[in-house]
Amino acid sequence: MRLVILFLLSALVSSALFSSAVTAEVFRYKDKNGNVVFTDEPPAGMEKAEKIEVREVPTIEMPRGRLTEENLQQAADAVRQDAEPRSSYNLVEFNEPQNESAFWSGSGNIVMSVAASPQLDESHRFEVLLDGQSLGTNQSGRFEVNHIDRGTHTATVRVLARDGDVVETGESITFTVHRPSVLN
């Protein structure tokens, strides 16, 4: 019984504390079984209901920050910078094949060679994309492609960090591979 009374009292006080406007009146009385009851409305016909003064709870409003695209971008940039130090490259380029070159390859096998200046950081790797598809990654800068189709292709070289993030992207090149055909 006391537990019920304590529960009701704590619920009443909690609701008074956490309500946005504490203007309701609180009354206390004993029911026919002798239990103490707290309520916001006095029961009909009960003159013995005692009005309880509830003090207003002091509240403060915290200032709200304005979330903008710029704030989000600044936070994302800070996280990226803290994640791993990045090196800056003056040049990331193809040595072979030359941009806008055309050459014959009977078997369709070619070698692509890339380089960076300054030299590639030991935590970074080269990645070559041929027609949008990755040929893999390595630190040597040498990529062999077997059975490439005849025609014009586009290649891009990127430098990747250990976690796979792109550190630098070189200029894309285009080249044309000529191969014999059954018709020729």
**pLDDT tens, residue by residue, 128-138:** 999 999 999 99
Residues 167 and 95 in one domain: yes
Residue 41 lies in a domain: yes
Residue 63 lies in a domain: no
What does the pLDDT read at residue 4? Answer: 46
- Please provide the DSSP assignment of 103-145 as one string: EE-SS--EEEEEEEESPPPTT-EEEEEETTEEEEEESS-EEEE
Residues 173 and 117 in one domain: yes
Show the low-confidence residues of the chain (pLDDT under 50).
4, 6, 19-22
Q: What residues make up the domain containing 25?
A: 2-52
Residues 47 and 115 in one domain: no
Report which DSSP code applies to 162.
T
What does the pLDDT read at residue 160? Answer: 95
Residue 81 lies in a domain: no
Residue 72 lies in a domain: no
What does the pLDDT read at residue 124? Answer: 95
- The 3-state DSSP composition of the chain as helix, strand, coil percent (nearest 5) reads 15, 35, 45
Neighbours of 74 (CB within 10 A): 11
Residue 174 lies in a domain: yes
Residue 164 lies in a domain: yes
pLDDT digit string (tens) for 29-42? 888 888 888 888 87
Residues 45 and 106 in one domain: no
Residues 102 and 154 in one domain: yes
* Angle at alpha carbon of residue 139, lines to 133 and 141, rounded to 5°: 65
Residues 95 and 174 in one domain: yes
Residue 60 lies in a domain: no
The C-alpha atoms of residue 10 and residue 4 are separated, in whole angstroms, by: 10
What does the pLDDT read at residue 127? Answer: 96
Specify the number of domains making up the chain: 2
